[in-house]
Copies of this chain bind each other. A is one copy, B any other.
Amino acid sequence: MNWMDEISWSPEGLVPAIAQDVASGRVLMFAWMNRDALARTIESGEAHYWSRSRQRLWHKGEESGHTQRVQELRLDCDGDVVLLSVEQQGGIACHTGRERCFFRRYEDGRWVVTDPVLKDPGDIYSK
């Protein structure tokens, strides 16, 4: 697959992936993909990542139901970062139950939580 070879994969065979909400424009999360994750993302239309902590393929939302339908996939100038525009199911991308992972803002030497928890993680992952 030639388009995959145009990506500059890291020595570990990964590429950073940024997911942005197609409606709000908010950056929701940052994760990593390997070739398999990217191939499955294209095939299924739903975001798949490589979980570095669990060392396995991760179909985003597989437990929570908070899948991401990919509307657009972009590659940067150096070919070493991808950007996904997604429809975020449930409006929750973060495992803390918030819309996005970037829920802390720098203010005068500290990180301030600015975004509310929309759903209790205990309820999200107890299914």
List residues of chain A with CB under 8 Å of any chain B CB. 1-3, 6, 16, 18, 20, 25-27, 29-30, 42, 72-78, 81, 83, 94-96, 98, 101-106, 109-111
Contacts and interface: CB of A to CB of B under 8 A. Distances in A.
Number of copies: 2
Nearest to A98: B77
The secondary structure that dominates the A interface is mixed
Top 6 nearest A-B pairs (CB, nearest first) are A25-B25, A76-B101, A73-B106, A74-B102, A30-B81, A77-B101
28 contacts: A1-B109, A2-B109, A2-B110, A3-B106, A3-B109, A3-B110, A3-B111, A6-B111, A16-B16, A18-B27, A18-B30, A25-B26, A27-B83, A30-B76, A30-B81, A42-B106, A73-B105, A73-B106, A74-B106, A75-B102, A75-B106, A75-B111, A76-B103, A77-B103, A78-B101, A81-B101, A81-B102, A83-B102
